[in-house]
Amino acid sequence: MNSEHQTIVIKRLKSIAGHVAGIERMVTEDAYCIDVIKQIQAVQAALNKVNDLILENHLNTCVIEAVRGDNQQARERVLGEIVDVFEMAQKI
């Protein structure tokens, strides 16, 4: 991952960590359940965005490199990993 992309991902993860801490405070303070749920959904959406950024980076670097390369095992490995990621996403 290039440094610019890494900086963006880390910034988003730090923001998410802050939101999770806020949710913890809301629960501790017995906040209204729907408000807590909305915050949890916001964190889930933010994590999905981070996931998308990392997947996009992986596709544009590791996968392209393996597909363009001469190593058939590397191609099969990265394609298998992508299939595994999408299969896991279906289970969630």
Length of the chain in terms of residues written: 92
Where along the chain do its domains lie? Answer: 3-91
21 touches 38 (CB < 8 A): no
3-class SS shares of the chain: helix, strand, coil, % to 5: 90, 0, 10
Tens-of-pLDDT digits for all 92 residues of the chain? 888 999 999 999 999 999 999 999 999 999 999 999 999 999 999 999 999 999 999 999 999 999 999 999 999 999 999 999 989 988 87
Q: What is the pTM of this model?
A: 0.85
Please give the span between the terminal C-alpha atoms of the chain, in angstroms, as a whole number.
26
Report, at the CATH architecture level, how domain 3-91 is classified.
Answer: Up-down Bundle (1.20)
- Enter the DSSP assignment of 92: -
Collapsing DSSP to helix, strand or coil, 32 comes out as coil
